[in-house]
């Protein structure tokens, strides 16, 4: 049971950290639009993982885990698109979030392999 909690907490922290990162970004039109997508995707990673843990069937569990993996991948995409205005501190923070989204993708991929 402990691992479930850890991953729920980890996905929550990822979504929360992404939101804090967004507040520091330059408010360009592109960033505003990309950040809306990023907020949705980063929050959806954990929300779908929670849904997977409440799944009524193995098939439902697998579908939710696939969605979590997809949303982690999408988060990575939006993070790469965001304009950080040449700020090296923001670039480091973005790279940290890209790394975390990649790790979450890999974790959900491993869960899928074990679930089949």
| Residue 2: band (very low, low, confident or very high) from pLDDT cuts 50, 70, 90 | very low
88 phi and psi angles, rounded to 5 deg = -65, -30
Q: pLDDT tens digit string along 32-89?
A: 999 999 999 999 999 999 999 999 999 999 999 999 999 999 999 999 999 999 999 9
What contacts 48, CB < 8 A, 6 or more positions away? 64, 65, 67, 68, 71
Rounded CA separation 58/16 (Å):
29
Which residue did the predictor score with more confidence, 104 or 1?
A: 104
Q: pLDDT tens digit string along 23-45?
A: 999 999 999 999 999 999 999 99
The CATH-assigned architecture of domain 2-115 is: Up-down Bundle (1.20)
Closest to 23 in 3D by CA, of 35, 14, 11, 15: 35
The pTM of the full predicted model, rounded to 2 decimals, is 0.92
């Amino acid at each position: 049971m402990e691992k479930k909690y850890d991953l729920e907490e980890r996905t929550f922290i990822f979504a929360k950290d992404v939101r804090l990162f967004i507040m520091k970004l330059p408010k360009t039109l592109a960033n505003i639009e990309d950040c809306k997508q990023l907020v949705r995707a980063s929050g959806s990673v954990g929300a779908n993982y929670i849904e997977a843990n409440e799944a009524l069937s193995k098939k439902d569990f697998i579908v939710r885990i696939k969605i979590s993996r997809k949303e982690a991948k999408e988060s990575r995409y939006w993070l790469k698109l965001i304009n950080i205005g040449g700020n090296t501190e923001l670039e480091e923070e973005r790279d940290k979030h890209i790394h975390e989204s990649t790790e979450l993708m890999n974790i959900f991929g491993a869960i899928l392999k074990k679930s089949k």
